[in-house]
Amino acid sequence: MRSLLAAALLAAPSALPPVRLPGGEGGIGFDDLRYAPGLHRLLVPAGRTGRLDLLDPATGAIEVVEGFSASRKIGGHGQGTTSADEGMGLVFASDRTARELRVVDPGARRIVARARLGGIPDYVRWVEPRREVWLTEPGREVIEIFRVVPGSPPALERAGQIRIEDGPESLAIDPLRRRAYANTWHDRTVAVDLDSRALVARWPNRCRGARGIALDAGRGLLFVGCEEGKAVVLDLRRGGTVAGSAAAGAGVDIVDYAPGLRHLYVPGAGGGDLTILAVGARGQLTTLGRFATARGAHCVAADADGRIYVCDPANGRLLVFQDAAEGPR
């Protein structure tokens, strides 16, 4: 059995060449990054550039989907497309400027359907058990729901909404338990039943400003990033009780988790750093290290081969690291 100390000694990621995104000169106000295992692509909503970039981790090649709202404005992450997810062989992406949900055919690299939203979207997530797309709209305090009607092209039908008071911030889908999880903007994490759409739990998460969410569905662990600079683990098997917590850099927003390595990645935008945490069987967290990234780097995604992608908003690129360390058993 490899000890946590031995894992820690192996945890320093090696830097790989950064990925420069088309039109990223002068900066991109990133928000959500997400690895799509079905497509073997990293989904990179490139904000003001008007593009959704599909990055092939194996080759570094970028496939570009045009047609989202573009802007010359630098900074912020409120322009164009900022969140995307895969489902049914398609990609579902937001357009914050147009207040639309858009459906992308990744093979043809074009937008094939769209629907007007009730508010400004934040997170987009595919809900496989329901064949639906759920979008958070924090300004309205709701999750808006669309049903996907197969066809050529597919169609989107509005299917309802769920109210989340003081939220929703972030969104994770748990098909195993048929639950969705989101945060309030402060100190609670909520669980929603996918079928009834009822709010079924509201758990204290010990954050002052709850932000990102990641999930280990197999082990029943939910990870919450706290803006003030820490990560918290909620144990879904024990009623959402806090199972562990650890410090991270200030300005935490989006977090991600590698189930194979059992590593949690927590970027701190304030100091431009990335904290890597090992997650034990009961949800305990062990700090493996804190590593330099870039000022304002607040979003992260991990692919299936141990690569970590951290957004660098000021330079319109992705920083890439290889994490080959073995996680705890």
204-223 pLDDT per residue, tens: 999 999 999 999 999 999 99
261 has pLDDT over 90:
yes
Phi-psi region of 31 (alpha: psi -120 to 50; beta: other; left: phi over 0): alpha
C-alpha distance from residue 150 to each of 101, 112, 175, 277 (Å): 16, 12, 21, 41
231-260 pLDDT per residue, tens: 999 999 999 999 999 999 999 999 999 999
Separation of alpha carbons 160 and 146, rounded Å: 7
C-alpha distance from residue 155 to each of 112, 118, 124, 152 (Å): 9, 17, 17, 8
pLDDT band at 327 (very low <50, low <70, confident <90, very high): very low
Q: What is the dihedral of CA 108, 24, 27, 90, to 10 degrees?
A: 10
Separation of alpha carbons 260 and 253, rounded Å: 23
Residue 97: alpha-carbon gap to chain centroid: 20
Phi-psi region of 188 (alpha: psi -120 to 50; beta: other; left: phi over 0): beta
- Residue 11 has a pLDDT of 52
- Residue 325 has a pLDDT of 67
pLDDT band at 1 (very low <50, low <70, confident <90, very high): very low
CB within 8 A of 50, min separation 6: which ones?
23, 66, 67, 68, 69, 70, 71, 80, 81
**Do residues 209 and 169 lie in contact, with contact meaning Cβ atoms separated by under 8 Å?**
no
267-294 pLDDT per residue, tens: 999 999 999 999 999 999 999 999 999 9
66-123 pLDDT per residue, tens: 999 998 776 657 789 999 999 999 999 999 999 999 999 999 999 999 999 999 999 9
pLDDT band at 26 (very low <50, low <70, confident <90, very high): confident
pTM attached to this predicted model = 0.95
CATH superfamily of 4-322: YVTN repeat-like/Quinoprotein amine dehydrogenase (2.130.10.10)
49-59 pLDDT per residue, tens: 999 999 999 99
- Average pLDDT for 158-170: 98
CB within 8 A of 9, min separation 6: which ones?
none
Separation of alpha carbons 285 and 315, rounded Å: 32
5 has pLDDT over 60:
no
Separation of alpha carbons 93 and 31, rounded Å: 12
**Do residues 36 and 91 lie in contact, with contact meaning Cβ atoms separated by under 8 Å?**
yes
DSSP secondary structure string for all residues of 6-53? HHHHT-PPEEEEEEEPTT-TT-------EEETTTTEEEEE-BTTS-EE
Separation of alpha carbons 142 and 20, rounded Å: 35
Separation of alpha carbons 267 and 12, rounded Å: 15
- Residue 145 has a pLDDT of 98
DSSP secondary structure string for all residues of 198-228? -EEEEEE---SSEEEEEEETTTTEEEEEETT
The domain ranges of the chain are: 4-322
Residue type, 19: V
**Do residues 76 and 29 lie in contact, with contact meaning Cβ atoms separated by under 8 Å?**
yes
Q: Among candidates 282, 264, 275, 267, which has minimal Cα distance to 327?
A: 264
299 has pLDDT over 60:
yes
DSSP secondary structure string for all residues of 171-204? EEEETTTTEEEEE-SSSEEEEEETTT--EEEEEE
Structure token pair of residue 89:
């062989």
